[in-house]
Structure 1
Amino acid sequence: MLKIYNTQSGKKEIFTPIEEGKVGMYVCGNTVYDFCHIGHARAMISFDIISRFIRHLGYDLNYIRNITDVDDKIIKRAEENNESTQSLTERMIAAQREDELRLGNKLPDREPKATEFMQEIIDMIQILIDKGFAYQGTTGDVYYRTSKFESYGKLNNRKLDEMLAGARIDVEAAKEHPADFVLWKQTKVGEVSWPSPWGEGRPGWHIECSAMSTNCLGSHFDIHGGGPDLKFPHHENEIAQSEAATGKDYVNYWMHCGAVRVNNEKMSKSLGNFFTVRDVLAKFNPEVVRYLMVSSQYRSAIDYSDQSLNEAKVALERLYTALRDQPMAAEYTPSEYTQRFEEAMKDDFNTAVAISVLFELVRDLNKAKTEAPEKAMTLATELKTLAELLGLLYQDPEYFMQNGTVSEGLSDDDIQRFIEERAQARKDKNFARGDEIRDELAAQGIELLDSREGTTWTRS
């Protein structure tokens, strides 16, 4: 049985889909005004793995992840760049997809944009007004009336007044209550806007997800996910809007991945420890980044640093070394390793334990290479199959060993020429020159590995 930690209940629960054999999952995506950072990568990779394993269990999954393409940040950035909001968002969406594919993710089944659901957003706001859950303030903006939704705060298990204490709440004279939040904003002259019964404007952030999720998956669906910073107020507000509008329970299981910290500090541009995915991939193989994200269970916080990535690279090399020059079986009968791997993943997608099972499999595989070659072939296939559920071991082992990090020094062709020169020197019994070449390469992070089949290399 699959167990999922439900943020709302604060405990693991046995997963029971609303409709047998089918799962609807909505994940809050990015506001596309800048390149993705490593915190975004954590969320994208976490829910990619969750979606892979849900499908592995035989469920028909409909995975929806939205794109927020209208927002104050987008408008401000577009003005700074002297470009249209559409031009900015299209560039950032393309960049996000490029980053995600490089990280080994499979794209969601659908990625709805907020601007594509403007009528649905307006319709939902009108329903909330008609039911008394929303009102138009003196400035023309439309607000949600939080005090009318009696169970407001149930996701975070806190009462309204408790959540307000210490929270950053915009206090405006137009609001009835400090916790009321905007559903529809009046726009300034020249800003992107849409016509509505309340004047030209654009939607608030929270209402976008309520409209998109319920239109894509229905008023009541199985799983809603996102980053750790979305629990309040975004997801709390989504619940209030959606359940008030539809009169139905919104989501059965709320899932939130852990945060990414940098050298044990919160990632922030002001602290100078803010890294985009592109920054990181300029130095490290994308699979190394993915391994770091997968090595901890999705709810755990991750500490990002060059050291942690180097450790991830070493661990991944151990897995790839087991597959290096290892023949594969066409098929295999799942062993205890598959059973234990699946048990770990069924326990709230515990990838940390699942990876430890892979390393036990590797020890058995390495031993079988000399003692039972046929067994080694089936174990190698089993290793590749299980790793694929985590999005790992998809590269050629030889290629990965040579490209675990991105080098600014010697190219592959340069290294190969040195290897050929060294081989000739040794053939000529000029061992001093051979050792000299090895040392020169080692000084530039290139480790040579000699075997009967010849010389291979890795970047250290």
Structure 2
Amino acid sequence: MRTWTPPNVPRLPGEGIVPKLFNTASGRLEYPAIAEGRALLYVCGITPYDATHLGHAFTYLTFDLMQRAWRDAGIETVYAQNITDIDDPLLERAAATGVDWRDLADEQIGLFRSDMHRMGMIPPEHYVAVTEQIDEIAAAVRELMELGLAYSVPTEGVEGEDVYFDTDAAERASQWRLGDVAPYDRALMLRLSAERGGDPERPGKRNPLDPLLWRAARPGEPTWESVVGAGRPGWHIECSVIATRALGGAFTVQGGGSDLVFPHHEYTAAHATAISGTPLAHAYCHAGLVSYEGHKMSKSRGNLVFVSKLLNGTHSVPAADPSAIRLGLLAHHYRSEWEWHDADLDIATRRLDAWRTGVRRAGQDPASAHAVVQQLRAALANDLDTPVMLAILDAALDRGVDDPELVESAVLALLGVEV
């Protein structure tokens, strides 16, 4: 799958600081393992039926910043991202709107690419759709069956059988343990499984938490012939396969929104570890969820704020500067849960205007641009602390700086904001 044109990321003098990041799995700030000067990052991509709202943008901005921090510290980055272009929500939206699911996916993927490019996001080197790796995913399911870590469940009215991952067998046979990624109790896991695509009440399963690996063909659904019969992949196995094929095992960071901690990232790690014998990633980093009008942004509530609409404007609202949208998001720490208000864009636009004026201000006692850059680097290295970075720039640009070009380059390189 083609990606988008990368943004300009200036090289700053000196060297940045390797960031310390919060690992959801351990509950601690850590330096994720980086081998041979290369940080390997996998971030779960969109299911292309409602791209790109501000919740998406906040998540991908988080991992854009992470890469900027690594690169500034002299570390090469390799970034992989999937597209879940075959899944129940996509099929349901296509059926509800009378659009072919492939056309809907293509349209939304194109919109997402455009939004990411306009927002100045660093693109992945590996941008892979699930439908591009059906054979590889089916082969992984077959391998889990041969290892005794997956089993079939008969499905009434369907010729084939659904295939499920055996949680208990995987715990006995591999180094993965349930809760390695998501340190939750069982009651919460069961609730989240039911809310997030699982089927804990399904008869015939050995453990209510066992996730679906392969869905046998149903009438009227897209299907592929494979080594495990006709059907299509389950949710988590797709990322296990795409991530490990792109980056190998034990890569630096697995990332996504906090709603992916369980079951998705837990079982993505489980599948990969069960097959390879090595952990999926050294650290699991998650962005907080963004609300609007008192609720998490979701299509069902009709409260999504779309990036494309902000960028394009409407008859009553002018088009937003991409840097202003970034600033509106950067005002919140990436791990925080917060609510977007319509006024946030106005506030961010005023801040951007003030910075653009301030960077050219000839003050009587200008701030040292080199000192500002080091302060920015230190804040970014402290678990991507963007609110502190914005406060540093507010103070410095209100006073004026002795090297405007250096500060302009630093703001663009570290925050992706053009002043």
| TM-score, normalising length: structure 1 | 0.77
2:267 to 237, 256, 260: 237
1:14 corresponds in structure 2 to: 31
Q: Give the paired residue count.
A: 377
Contact 2:86 2:131 in 1 (8 A): yes
Separation in 2 of the partners of 1:125 and 1:176? 17
Cα distance, 1:301 vs structure 2: 2.2
Separation in 2 of the partners of 1:218 and 1:393? 33
1:386 to 397, 401, 410: 410
2:381 corresponds in structure 1 to: 346
Cα distance, 1:391 vs structure 2: 4.2
Separation in 2 of the partners of 1:166 and 1:25? 25
**Structure 2: runs of 5+ lacking an equivalent:** 1-17, 156-160, 172-176, 363-367
Structure of greater Rg: 1
Contact 1:66 1:113 in 2 (8 A): yes
In structure 2, relative to structure 1, the CA distance for the partners of 1:256 and 1:138 (3 Å cut) is same
**Structure 1: runs of 5+ lacking an equivalent:** 327-332, 369-374, 396-460
Deviations 1:279-303 (A, max 9, x none): 3332433222111111222112232
In structure 2, relative to structure 1, the CA distance for the partners of 1:228 and 1:43 (3 Å cut) is same
Cα distance, 1:245 vs structure 2: 1.0
Separation in 2 of the partners of 1:265 and 1:82? 28
Deviations 1:195-242 (A, max 9, x none): 123321000111100000000000221111001110011011111111
SS of 2:83's equivalent? coil
Deviations 1:137-170 (A, max 9, x none): 1120000111223311221113545522575252
SS of 1:142's equivalent? strand
Deviations 1:329-368 (A, max 9, x none): xxxx962111111111111111111122222321331xx6
Contact 2:139 2:227 in 1 (8 A): no
Cα distance, 1:252 vs structure 2: 0.2
- Is residue 360 of structure 1 aligned with residue 395 of structure 2? yes
1:430 corresponds in structure 2 to: none
Which letter does structure 2 place at the counterpart of 1:61? T
Contact 1:32 1:89 in 2 (8 A): yes
1:194 corresponds in structure 2 to: 224
Contact 1:361 1:383 in 2 (8 A): no
2:119 corresponds in structure 1 to: 103
Separation in 1 of the partners of 2:209 and 2:42? 25
Cα distance, 1:316 vs structure 2: 1.5
Which letter does structure 2 place at the counterpart of 1:180? D
In structure 2, relative to structure 1, the CA distance for the partners of 1:166 and 1:348 (3 Å cut) is closer
In structure 2, relative to structure 1, the CA distance for the partners of 1:334 and 1:59 (3 Å cut) is farther
Contact 2:41 2:253 in 1 (8 A): yes
1:287 to 323, 335, 346: 323
Contact 2:323 2:416 in 1 (8 A): yes
SS of 2:94's equivalent? helix
Q: Percent identity?
A: 33
1:145 to 166, 169, 185: 166
SS of 1:29's equivalent? coil
Which letter does structure 2 place at the counterpart of 1:143? Y
Cα distance, 1:2 vs structure 2: 2.6
SS of 1:389's equivalent? helix
1:404 corresponds in structure 2 to: none
Cα distance, 1:64 vs structure 2: 0.8
Separation in 1 of the partners of 2:288 and 2:391? 20
Separation in 2 of the partners of 1:392 and 1:213? 26
Cα distance, 1:10 vs structure 2: 0.4
Which letter does structure 2 place at the counterpart of 1:155? V
Q: Which has the higher helix share?
A: 1
Matches within 5 A, 1:51-130: 51-130=67-146
Cα distance, 1:307 vs structure 2: 1.6
Which letter does structure 2 place at the counterpart of 1:385? S
Matches within 5 A, 1:41-440: 41-139=57-155, 140-150=161-171, 151-160=177-186, 163-164=189-190, 167-168=193-194, 169-170=198-199, 171-281=201-311, 282=313, 283=317, 284-323=320-359, 335-365=370-400, 375=402, 378=403, 380-394=404-418
Contact 1:184 1:204 in 2 (8 A): yes
1:28 to 44, 64, 67: 44
If asked which structure has higher relative contact order (CA below 8 Å, sep 6+), I would say: 2
In structure 2, relative to structure 1, the CA distance for the partners of 1:240 and 1:16 (3 Å cut) is closer
Which letter does structure 2 place at the counterpart of 1:320? R
Deviations 1:52-71 (A, max 9, x none): 22111111110111111111
Deviations 1:368-399 (A, max 9, x none): 6xxxxxx3xx2x1122111113444426xxxx
Which letter does structure 2 place at the counterpart of 1:259? L
Cα distance, 1:269 vs structure 2: 4.1
SS of 1:261's equivalent? strand
Contact 2:137 2:233 in 1 (8 A): yes
Separation in 1 of the partners of 2:192 and 2:141? 29
Contact 1:153 1:160 in 2 (8 A): no
SS of 1:25's equivalent? strand
